[in-house]
């Protein structure tokens, strides 16, 4: 009996999901598009699935992890920038007044990102991110940020790939930031990461070709930018999309446009004990219009609290 139970669990590709409509909708979709001869069969090259990152594959509280990286870099770089002592948003930040620093909203955040994500080669930046992800710890859990990933979503990624899907990240986060850990953490290679980016410039330095990161926006992969980024990188429409906020709404609309079998899912953050609870009123990861549309379109909405047996892999 024990052997049988263990074997039955081994056959379950989504062991961290509780039985229920959300899990059932995923399995049913995959079985339909992979069943040879079925009307809903989709050839392997068209099995494209796209995943938002922040709040969908890993956590995003108390704020986006890449912003925490940028704040850390401001402190590291401050000695080389004496002018920051009297220049916002850096001045507030260096005085420890995070709220004041971010009161400038999107402009302040962009200034912080540009000051910390440009002025070096692509390879230097990669190393800086690699060092940070290998050492920085989440303020609440004490875990490395790359451990703050959702075990149930790792299972979905692996399950889809085992069924011939190509899995992509499509995130408002920085494309080169995520590429540093996407292969190791998610099994997603750098060429399947789509994200926001700054411009880069090819240069020969002492006979060595380099790409310099410039302080200029190239592309913002958020909201209506997500379908644009998908088209630019993939060139065909995905058949499955996973997100957690209104920033993913257009990606889900684009993916789930009829006809044909299509699957769209929102992760809803409902578990204030094991994770964080937030949706319609949150400034980070607001899920409001998306929740309405999910109801109308009959998309899957994951209730983290009831649908996920386990949230993070590091949980006992």
- The residues that touch a copy of itself, with contacts defined as CB under 8 A, are 45, 48, 122, 166, 175-176, 179, 183, 189-191, 193, 197, 199-202, 204, 208-209, 211, 218, 224-225, 227-228, 231-236, 250, 253-254, 257
- For 48, residues 6+ apart whose C-beta sits below 8 A from its C-beta are 165, 166, 168, 234, 236, 237, 238, 239, 240
Nearer to a copy of itself, 74 or 180 (CB): 180
Residue 204: contacted member of a copy of itself, Ca ion, none (CB under 5 to 8 Å, by partner type): a copy of itself
| Shortest distance (Å) from residue 10 CB to Ca ion | 32
Which of 229, 220, 315 minimizes the C-alpha distance to 271? 315
Q: Is 246 in the site for Ca ion (CB under 5 A)?
A: no
Nearer to a copy of itself, 23 or 262 (CB): 262
Per CB under 5 A, the list member of 61, 197, 245, 270 interacting with Ca ion is: 245
Nearer to Ca ion, 58 or 165 (CB): 58
- What secondary structure does DSSP assign to 85-130, as a single string? GGSTTHHHHHTT-HHHHHTTHHHHHHHHHHHHHSSSBHHHHHHHHH
Residue 244: contacted member of a copy of itself, Ca ion, none (CB under 5 to 8 Å, by partner type): Ca ion
Instruction: Mark 26-65 with x for binding to Ca ion (rule: CB under 5 A) and - for no binding.
Output: --------------------------x-xx----------
Count of CA atoms in the C-beta half-sphere (13 A) of 252: 27
Nearer to a copy of itself, 50 or 108 (CB): 50
| Shortest distance (Å) from residue 278 CB to Ca ion | 11
Nearer to a copy of itself, 43 or 316 (CB): 43
CA distance 103 to 93: 11
Which of 179, 59, 68 minimizes the C-alpha distance to 113? 68
Residue 227: contacted member of a copy of itself, Ca ion, none (CB under 5 to 8 Å, by partner type): a copy of itself
Residue 152: contacted member of a copy of itself, Ca ion, none (CB under 5 to 8 Å, by partner type): none
CA distance 316 to 310: 9
Residue 280: contacted member of a copy of itself, Ca ion, none (CB under 5 to 8 Å, by partner type): none
Residue 164: contacted member of a copy of itself, Ca ion, none (CB under 5 to 8 Å, by partner type): none
| Shortest distance (Å) from residue 23 CB to a copy of itself | 28
Nearer to a copy of itself, 196 or 270 (CB): 196
CA distance 295 to 34: 26
Residue 55: contacted member of Ca ion, a copy of itself, none (CB under 5 to 8 Å, by partner type): Ca ion
Using CA atoms, how far residue 120 sits from 114, 176, 201, 208, 213, in Å, is 11, 13, 11, 15, 6
User: Could you tell me if 284 and 60 are in contact, meaning their C-beta atoms sit under 8 angstroms apart?
Assistant: yes
| Shortest distance (Å) from residue 250 CB to a copy of itself | 6
CA distance 66 to 109: 11
| Shortest distance (Å) from residue 190 CB to a copy of itself | 3
For Ca ion, the binding residues (CB under 5 A) are 52, 54-55, 244-245
């Amino acid at each position: 009996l024990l052997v049988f139970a263990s074997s039955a669990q081994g056959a379950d590709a989504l062991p961290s999901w509780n039985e229920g409509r959300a899990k059932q909708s995923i399995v049913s979709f995959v079985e339909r598009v992979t069943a040879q001869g079925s009307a809903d069969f989709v050839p392997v090259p068209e099995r494209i699935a796209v995943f938002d990152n922040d709040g969908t594959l890993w956590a995003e509280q108390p704020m986006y992890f890449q912003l925490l990286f940028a704040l850390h870099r401001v402190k590291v770089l401050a000695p080389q920038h004496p002018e920051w002592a009297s220049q916002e948003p850096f001045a507030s930040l260096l005085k420890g007044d995070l709220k004041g620093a971010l009161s400038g909203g999107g402009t302040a955040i962009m200034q912080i990102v540009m000051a910390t994500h440009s002025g070096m080669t692509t390879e230097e930046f990669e190393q800086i991110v690699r060092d940070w992800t290998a050492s920085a710890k989440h303020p609440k859990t004490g875990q490395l940020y790359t451990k703050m990933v959702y075990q149930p979503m790792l299972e979905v990624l692996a399950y889809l790939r085992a069924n011939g899907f190509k899995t992509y990240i499509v995130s408002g986060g920085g494309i080169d930031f995520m590429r540093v850990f996407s292969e190791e953490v998610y099994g997603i290679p750098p060429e399947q990461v789509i994200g926001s980016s700054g411009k880069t410039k090819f240069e020969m330095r002492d006979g060595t070709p380099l790409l310099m990161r410039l302080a200029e926006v190239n592309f913002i992969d958020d909201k209506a930018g997500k379908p644009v980024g998908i088209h630019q990188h993939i060139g065909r429409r995905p058949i499955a999309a996973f997100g957690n906020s209104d920033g993913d709404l257009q990606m889900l609309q684009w993916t789930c446009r009829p006809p044909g079998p299509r699957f769209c899912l929102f992760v809803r953050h409902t578990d204030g004990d094991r994770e964080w609870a937030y949706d319609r009123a949150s400034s980070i990861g607001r899920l409001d219009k998306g929740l309405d549309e999910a109801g109308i379109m009959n998309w899957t909405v994951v209730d983290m609290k009831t649908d996920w047996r386990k949230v993070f892999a590091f949980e006992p």
